[in-house]
Amino acid sequence: MKKLFLFTCLTALTLSFNSCSDDDSKATEDPTDDTVYVDGGTVSVKVNGELKTYNTIAVEDDGDADFPRLYVTASQNGSSSEFVTFSIDKGNVGAGHVLGFSYTTDSTPNQQFEPFSSNTLVNEDHVVKANFSGKLVTGQNPLGNGFTYDEFTDGSINITYN
């Protein structure tokens, strides 16, 4: 029985070493991967009055010819416990082109629910600048009489991507 257990452990260990290669960890270097990591861009916003600045930004261009969008994930110094995600209608400026805004803290996402205001100022030549504000649902009020919200004010997007 001990030999069977030892053989099973050695087999599992051997397979785990052989099943992964160095190429698996380099997905962002794959020329077919549309995600671009941005250096120097920022997304900043006041969340319930507290200023947050997100400086690690990933932009994915979906390449859709009919309704092209950029999908953005922004975090503070690469944190996986607090980040914002949203999409932007590629090439469009004016009101309402920042879509699907979500704010995640400690793996709990807060979704856009209330009217969310945005104004895209620049959206061309790999540069996006926009302003936004609104409320996101954080959960049900403990008394059961409505929802609770996080309020987002003075939001600013300033991204240059490749």
How do residues 46-105 score in pLDDT, each as one tens digit? 999 999 999 999 999 887 778 899 999 999 988 888 999 999 999 999 999 998 888 888
With cut-offs at 50, 70 and 90, classify the pLDDT of residue 142.
Answer: low
- Rounded Cα–Cα distance for residues 118 and 95 (Å): 5
Q: Residue 3: inside a domain, yes or no?
A: no
With respect to residue 7, please indicate whether it lies within any of the assigned structural domains: no
Neighbouring C-alpha atoms within 13 Å toward the C-beta of 89:
14
- 139 inside domain: yes
Q: Would residue 136 count as lying in a domain?
A: yes
How far is residue 155's CA from residue 74's CA, in Å, rounded to a whole number? 13
In a domain, 17, yes or no: no
27 assigned to some structural domain: no
The DSSP H or E segment spanning 134 is: strand 127-140
pLDDT of residue 143: 66
